Amino acid sequence: MDPLVATLALILLALLGARFSFSTRSVPAGPRLLLRTGTHFLFLGFLLGPTVLGLLSREALGQLSPLLGLALGWIGLLFGLQLDRGALKQFPPVFLVLALGQAALAFVLIVAAGIVAAGSLQVEGDSVLLVLLGAAATACISAPAGVAMVSANFMAKGRVKDLLFFIASVDAAVGITALHVVYATMHGDPVLMAPGGEPVWFRLLAGVGLGVICAVIFLWLARLRPSREELVLYLLGISALSAGAALQLQLSPLFVGMVSGALITNLNPNWHRVFRLMERWEKPIYLILLLLAGAALRFPTWWVVPLALAYAVVRGVAKVVSTALLVNTLTLPFPTPRRLGLGLVPQGGISIAMALSLALTLTSASPRIGGVDAGELLLATVVLGVVVSELVGPLFTTAVLRTAGEIAPGVEEALARGDREGARARTH
């Protein structure tokens, strides 16, 4: 397919997908989350890609890389806008410690489990270590979509639900930062990128510096309160600039976008206006990312299936263990279930964006693990692992909220009968 036609087709599919949604009233909780988060667009992209129909060839995907970079930059920028200092101060500081601490501890546990498993299978090398670190960075984070869906479906109310939503909304900062550190520490290693002479600290600061520069450019452009159309163009330009520069300099585009977004939200007095505009365009851009990720998806070996299952299981155990340790250690303002981490099992699109970003860099260097392309192996494992987590995650989240008493008695029975008015009355 001609790249121009492919671009127009992707934009049309994204706009239609953002405008029209599938009915999910009679769909079980797990599949409902898949539909609401747009994961089915991954499979649509896979069908359109070179593996199945070939409407999006490998050459066309390569020429669509600027569109992919724009999507990565937009997602990083939007996440950074959520890190508003004033909004975070509305919650107890111990919430932030718990959110970031459990993600960091989960990252360590996942890496340790991966190293032990690789050693027992006698699979070693820099490529293996890189894939383990990248997979752990994508696995240590959660997604608020699962908590929001369960809360809306069962009309849950309470402090445990609010705590779960807060944790899932901010802990991606740990995974995105960890991925940036992987980029910096592995730079110069031939399995990742062309050798370079810059020290690790220089590349760590380079990512921060690039994010600061992009934020300053946007703040300067937006100082005269531009119109809505101009602001959208500025946001598209900054997203493309930050991601394109990051990929060119072999840095993490999500990290650069996150730094820019955090600075914009804390320095721009009209950040709410910026955030509302980005939210309005979030779904079509997110769907473009999913379509391109699905088109780039390949299954180079049948080992992808057990690896994805292991990825999902190890991630779930790490989230439960790390959260339980911190719940028992920290002094929280209300009784918190020890198995709070079960409510963080649902995983979202940021993990897929992170895996796709690293897979693109890996593909350019073509490292291999047991004769299999490392980038293809990483992307396929993470995508299937995310699907598994989103299928079973809402069930665990529901169990946590039910145990905490935040799903009112009789609500589930009323909903099963289709009596939403009755369920709503029971919540009050």
- DSSP for 170-222? HTHHHHHHHHHHHHHHHTT-TTTS------HHHHHHHHHHHHHHHHHHHHHHG
Q: Is the pLDDT of residue 26 over 50?
A: no
- The rounded distance, in Å, linking the Cα atoms of 107 and 174 is 9
pLDDT digits (tens, 9 = 90+) for 41-59: 788 888 887 777 777 777 7
Residue 427 main-chain phi, psi, to 5 deg = -70, -20
- Is residue 131 very low, low, confident or very high in pLDDT (cuts 50, 70, 90)? confident
Residue 400, Cβ density class (10 Å: 0-12 exposed, 13-18 middle, ≥19 buried): buried
Is-contact 140 110, C-beta < 8 A? yes
Q: Which pLDDT does position 18 carry in this prediction?
A: 55
Q: Which pLDDT does position 66 carry in this prediction?
A: 79
- The rounded distance, in Å, linking the Cα atoms of 424 and 427 is 5
- The rounded distance, in Å, linking the Cα atoms of 110 and 133 is 9
Average pLDDT rounded to a whole number, residues 326-353: 89
The CA-based dihedral angle spanning residues 7, 13, 17, 18, taken in that order and rounded to the nearest 10 degrees: 40
User: What three-state secondary structure class fits 307?
Assistant: helix
Conformational region of residue 282, where left means phi above 0, alpha means psi within -120 to 50, and beta covers everything else: alpha
DSSP 343: G
More confident residue, 358 or 138: 138
